[in-house]
Structure 1
Amino acid sequence: MMKTIRKQGFLLLGILAIALNSFGVAGKYSIKGRVVDDDTKKPIEFASVMLIALPDSTIKSSALTDPQGNYSFANVAEGKFVVKAQIVGYSSNRSKSFASSPNTSVADIAIKPSAVIKEVTVVGKKPYIEKKADRTVLNIESSATASAESAYEVLKKAPNINIDKDDNININGKQGVTVMINDRPTHLSGTDLANYLKSVQGGEIEKVEIITTRLPATRRQATPASSTYEPSAALSLG
């Protein structure tokens, strides 16, 4: 009788150990890497990077690169992934596929300039990207490369935004994104919205606001109507 109890006890402890070990591994992996200019090999700041799971190509997380071009993802589950990097003025690129591990280092992702535009220094202009509590602001008029592209390309390469093959827009993996022009919803989606955005030139855009957090009602009254939509992308045309 005692032997049976001991065997059952050891079996139960063994099952618990396996379960706890599995639980400890899931979501405990980390991934880090760097985005660089393909020509100069210099790091690129504010590049939008997305962690994409394979084989279904779902976006698991997104981030922006720091001044050294570095990015990182924490609490990643076990699986196979690629990292996609993009920013206005450059062609997007992906890493090679890899399996997650406790400390995964991804090889540098090099992205090529999409257009050759003479570098200029503009005094008194706002920074291209501004991070706020509820949104990321892209000051398009401060970027010569962004001004040379369509609104569709600007959004496609904007931080935390992904546009799939059917022209559906999501922000941080969230569907149902409201696109607004001068603080008014377009009421367009899919191909119709894509065609409209392709007709708007970057030079017409003053700024793009990517809203990721809905403001409390007490603060929303004093802010543009775009703050009532989450997630949303608001374009201000000059």
Structure 2
Amino acid sequence: MKICLLIIALIVSINSFSVAQTSLCGYVYDNKQNHIPFATVRLLQQDSTYIQGCTTDSIGKYTFANISKGNYLVSFSCIGYDSETIAATVNNDTILNAILTENTKQLGEVTVYAEPIIRLDNKLIIRPSQQQTKHSSTGYDLLYNLMIPGIDVNRSTGDVSTFNGSVTLYINGVKSTYLEVKNLRPRDVEKIEYIARPLPANMPAITQPLITLQNKKHREAMSLSMPNRQLDIQKGIITQ
């Protein structure tokens, strides 16, 4: 009899737990209703304690699965946009969309964008600003100061990771070591490419997110030695 009661109690407990779990998802847009990929979304408790995070996909969608019902804060941020925090009550499967305002400074008739960044379907291309370079001593400092969405940089250990795992670092298309990135002079970096989801057709051996730091001097050397050719870092080939 006691065994039966124990089994019933366990079943009720499991069912209650299952019922209590739900999901929160939605899309992140700009003011023109364009989807924003690579936006960082953080799920927080009401006192702003971090719970978990993710980045939006190529169509600006995010998902938090198997979360408990309750009241949360959801923080949205992305390079070039003002951050937004929205209070959310999650009862059943809940949809919460967000609109981020582009962070620009109007100077007369000239619009100066806060961050020089290009967003493509599967990657970000970022050109460091003078301020970001000025306040960086190593390659890791520069990556930290760029505040790439969803990227965590430990400048002491050289660990670079996303919410889902580690990130592989490359310099000029070649996989780099800790010392190579540490000794890289920030002022020599022309641009950084963050590929969140490597394309199997182009890079079949690479499944992790990767960051490539493009060196100015390397580009100049390539131009001198092969003036009619172009190095495609993502595909790892030289084209005419």
User: Under TM normalisation by the shorter chain, which class is it?
Assistant: 0.5 to 0.7
1:94, distance to aligned residue in structure 2 (A): 3.5
Partners of 2:87 and 2:186 in 1: CA distance: 31
| 1:51 pairs with 2:42 | yes
Partners of 2:88 and 2:186 in 1: CA distance: 34
Gap regions ≥5 residues in structure 2: 113-117, 133-141, 220-240
Q: TM-score, normalised by structure 2?
A: 0.55
Task: Name the residue aligned to 1:235.
Answer: 213
CA gap 1:169/1:50 in 2 versus in 1, 3 angstroms: farther
CA gap 1:83/1:170 in 2 versus in 1, 3 angstroms: farther
CA contact (8 A) 1:153 1:198 kept: no
Q: Identity over the aligned pairs, expressed in percent? A: 13
Indicate the structure whose relative CO is greater, using CA pairs within 8 Å and at least 6 residues apart: 1
CA contact (8 A) 2:128 2:146 kept: no
Which residue identity is paired with 1:232?
Answer: L
Aligned ranges for residues 57-136 of structure 1 at < 5 Å?
57-64=50-57, 66=59, 71-78=61-68, 81-91=72-82, 93-106=83-96, 108-115=98-105, 118=111, 128-131=119-122
Partners of 2:104 and 2:37 in 1: CA distance: 16
How many corresponding residue pairs? 193
Task: Name the residue aligned to 1:18.
Answer: 13
Partners of 2:18 and 2:209 in 1: CA distance: 32
Task: Name the residue aligned to 1:208.
Answer: 193
Which residue identity is paired with 2:96?
Answer: V
CA gap 1:155/1:200 in 2 versus in 1, 3 angstroms: farther
Which residue identity is paired with 2:79?
Answer: V
CA contact (8 A) 2:41 2:62 kept: no
| SS state at 1:96 partner | strand
Larger strand fraction of residues = 2
CA contact (8 A) 1:47 1:86 kept: no
CA contact (8 A) 1:152 1:197 kept: no
Q: TM-score, normalised by structure 1?
A: 0.56
